[in-house]
Amino acid sequence: MTDDEINIAIAEACGWTCLGQVEGCKPHGYPPDARKPTTKELIEGYGPSPWDVPDYCNDLNACRKIAERLNSSENDSQGAAVAFCEALEEIHEEDNSCWIECAVPSAKQVCRAFLRAVKNKII
């Protein structure tokens, strides 16, 4: 997957309504708490503008939303944090990471682990 595809998949898992991307532009969509345009607004070309999807793959600050999603009570009761940690451990082994990299994963490693947990229907 490309970084943009990963960013869109994570945004959708976190509740975004994603519109995808136009060639040469960043992926965009509507966050869960934003007002979505009505069908009439979409047809007539007005309404709230979509936002740029966060660059989860390259920004650990953006990855905080992933942690919030993992820590929600609904996901915690399903073992989401455990599934995420197990996926992160697998990724570190695949990447041949040293111990310090395990303590501070890269944004891309966090994204990969989150998507594995989502794929396993935990989140």
Spell out the per-residue pLDDT of the chain, length 123, in tens: 889 999 999 999 888 888 777 777 788 888 888 888 888 887 787 888 888 999 999 999 999 888 888 777 566 666 777 888 888 888 888 877 666 666 678 899 999 999 988 876 555
| Residue matched to tokens 């966050």 | 31
> Is-above-0.85 flag for pTM?
no
Residue 40 has phi, psi (to 5 degrees) of -60, -45
Residue 108 has phi, psi (to 5 degrees) of -65, -40
